[in-house]
Amino acid sequence: MAVMPARRLAIVIDAADADALLGFWVAALGYEPYGRSGQYRSAVPARGRDGPKLIVQQVADPRTVGKNRLHIDIEVGDEMERECDRLVALGATRLGAPIAEAGTGWVVMADPEGNEFCLVHH
């Protein structure tokens, strides 16, 4: 059986305001804007670092209430509370107290449009 080469990964987030949401994620992840075409905005890891491309897609339909089926985890090490405060200042919302399970901990957050993501300490 032939081994498949690694594939590049992009994470796509639907948004009511693609420019504003891309700005949030660029600041949250330390990414840099990459390009735009029509309703799409993209960002990549800064200074040639590895990581998935982020694409924010402008959509007309509103986000429906409910749990995300896909979300972003941001590994923050021992800086959990400081990073939580920084992201809240950028427009995120903290959705609860820290959770500890299976040797790790996390805080569930929401970006400015309500998309859930987690800050994770391993």
Cα–Cα nearest to 18, from 59, 58, 64: 58
Q: Which amino acid is at 1?
A: M
What's the predicted TM-score (pTM) here?
Answer: 0.81
Reply yes or no on whether the pLDDT at 46 is more than 70.
yes
Residue 4 banded pLDDT, cuts 50, 70, 90: low
Report pLDDT for 74: 92
Domains of the chain: 7-61 (3.10.180.10), 71-122 (3.10.180.10)
Question: What are 7's two structure tokens?
Answer: 């594939």
Q: Is residue 31 scored above 70 in pLDDT?
A: yes
Strands 53-58 and 40-45, sheet pairing: antiparallel
CA dihedral 69, 15, 107, 47 (to 10 degrees): 110
Can you tell me whether residue 95 is helix, strand or coil?
A: coil
Structure tokens at 73: 């985890």
Of residues 63 and 85, which shows the higher confidence score? 85
The arithmetic mean of pLDDT across residues 18-45, rounded, is 96
For 59-82, what is the mean pLDDT? Answer: 84
